[in-house]
Structure 1
Amino acid sequence: MEKVAEILAEASAEVVEPRFRALAAGEVMEKAPGEVVTVADREAEVIIARRLRELLPVPVVGEEAVAADPALAEALHSEPAVWLVDPVDGTSNFIAGRPDFAVMASLVRAGQTVAAWIWQPIAGTAYAAELGSGAWRDGHRLTRTPAADSPAGWRGSLKSRFLDPAEHLRLRTNAAVFGEVTAGRHSAGVEYPQIVDGEQEFTFYWRTLPWDHSPGSLLVSEAGGVSARLDGSGYRPDPPGCEDGLLVACDPHTWEQAREILLGRRH
């Protein structure tokens, strides 16, 4: 567990942090319509992937490698074990000079996340989780206390950019009963830790790319929370396009109530 955390922090220090608020002309590119990438993303992924393979020689499914060759993501279904890597989660924040970004990795065995790491470079904070063993922040075990009884006191976020407009409006309307609902921080590596740290009670995501959600889902689950599809099935890191719609909450009761509210079943 400690070795992977070191790999992420060292790669970040080598090629990501020196470019924070210092990206040169030509170091930001469009990899797909509406999707940007930087040289820091690409260089960090190469470093992290190489060092993870030295640690455990299994395929690496990295966000930038999959952008170049989408077929690589099928290893999540075809291989017994896979590393998942998000070299800069929150690239738009990184480009804009905002500190809300993270470097993340997870280990997937038989289609289930068994270990996860999140490094927040600007905060200097490391999160880790191991299936069945717990979750930690900077080496200290995390246990999230349950939310208050009334949803009127809950804070959450709706990440519904990729929903059709009618469904987006329905979710926003139903969510009016919550105390505070934002559009999130544009980085799963910041948003999931907000739940285990007590800053939010829930988050709803529509698009669920595996490198974004595998680390945080395990972190929340091992701290006592829930990361599950709206039908109640637990999160599993599938290739892009396989599954969408994910509700994350700080405890099982909050998850159930938040689902009923968002689906319009609670009156």
Structure 2
Amino acid sequence: MNPTPLGTEEVLAMLQDVVARLVTPRFGRLGDGEVTSKRRPGDLVTVADREAEVELTRLLRARQPGALVVGEEAVHADPSLVRALPHAAHAFTLDPVDGTRHFVAGSPDHATMLAELRRGEVVRSWIWQPQHGRAYVAERGAGAWRDGHRLSPGPRRPGPPRPTGTCCGVDYPRLASGQADLAAYLKQKPWDHLPGGLLLAEAGGSVRRWGPLLVARSGRGD
């Protein structure tokens, strides 16, 4: 028997619950030894990243057995995991704390992000910004939403494009909401860009490669 698909609001509630239990209590309260660097100086990981990813992976696998869950911290431990992503019949990408440097520094600009894929195509995505209290949800062909209100590009804006460059979990919602017009990235990991990419596309924007960069534009741009 096939498992019952997780409802969109059910997944959002799952994210919010895990973040409330394992991430938010550490915000501004990280102790000695709870922040470390990965491969490069400044590439930080915290106890909140690790514990939230383990818990969300467990919950997703329990409800969707057979689905591949590709989390940022799991890939750091086993890089081969990400290579299976394009070929999996059902998969999720997971970034437990996007904007870890901001989280460590006490900035509210961080998020938890999840994307669902079916045979390599992103079909749903979720971005939860706990300190801002904003939830962004997208479903392919059904639109992009912020806290239950549908996002649209709005009228064309005159003047030069407004850039954004905080972290993907903040940038993509800004683009989809029309608060910014342009973002460009050298780092192109799937857990960073798949959730926001679907959100932006469903709000009328686009994500394209331009040389070595990944360029995201709002629907208000040229």
TM-score, length of structure 1 as denominator length: 0.77
**Corresponding position of 1:249:** 217
**Corresponding position of 2:44:** 36
Amino acid in the other structure paired with 2:181: E
* 2:82 counterpart of 1:73: yes
Shift of 1:147: 3.1
* 2:148 counterpart of 1:139: yes
Shift of 1:109: 1.5
Q: Could you report, residue by residue, the CA deviation over 1:153-179 in whole angstroms, capped at 9, with x for unpaired residues? A: x2014xxxxxxxxxxxxxxxxxxxxxx
Does structure 1 retain, via aligned residues, the 8 Å contact 2:115–2:195?
Answer: yes
Q: How does 1:110-125 map to 2 (within 5 A)?
A: 110-125=119-134
Shift of 1:198: 1.8
**Partners in 1 of 2:203 and 2:29 — Cα distance?**
36
Who wins on radius of gyration, i.e. which is larger? Answer: 1
Q: Could you report, residue by residue, the CA deviation over 1:188-212 in whole angstroms, capped at 9, with x for unpaired residues? A: 0001111122210111112211000
* 2:202 counterpart of 1:195: no
**Partners in 1 of 2:206 and 2:27 — Cα distance?**
33
Q: Could you report, residue by residue, the CA deviation over 1:86-137 in whole angstroms, capped at 9, with x for unpaired residues? A: 0000000001111100011010112111100000000111000001110100
Where does the alignment leave 5 or more consecutive residues of structure 1 unmatched?
158-183, 232-243, 258-267
**Partners in 2 of 1:128 and 1:12 — Cα distance?**
16
**Partners in 2 of 1:221 and 1:100 — Cα distance?**
22
Does structure 1 retain, via aligned residues, the 8 Å contact 2:22–2:48?
Answer: yes
Q: How does 1:76-115 map to 2 (within 5 A)?
A: 76-115=85-124
Shift of 1:55: 2.6
Amino acid in the other structure paired with 2:192: D
**Partners in 2 of 1:38 and 1:13 — Cα distance?**
16
SS at match of 1:155: coil
Does structure 1 retain, via aligned residues, the 8 Å contact 2:68–2:85?
Answer: no
**Corresponding position of 1:53:** 61
**Corresponding position of 1:127:** 136
Amino acid in the other structure paired with 1:36: L
Does structure 2 retain, via aligned residues, the 8 Å contact 1:147–1:201?
Answer: no
Does structure 1 retain, via aligned residues, the 8 Å contact 2:175–2:182?
Answer: yes
Shift of 1:15: 0.7
Q: Which residue among 186, 200, 209 is the counterpart of 1:220?
A: 200
SS at match of 1:127: strand
Q: How does 1:235-246 map to 2 (within 5 A)?
A: 244-246=212-214
Q: Which residue among 178, 186, 190 is the counterpart of 1:210?
A: 190
* 2:7 counterpart of 1:9: no
**Partners in 2 of 1:55 and 1:132 — Cα distance?**
24
**Partners in 2 of 1:246 and 1:124 — Cα distance?**
28
Where does the alignment leave 5 or more consecutive residues of structure 2 unmatched?
1-7
Q: RMSD of the TM alignment (CA)?
A: 1.4
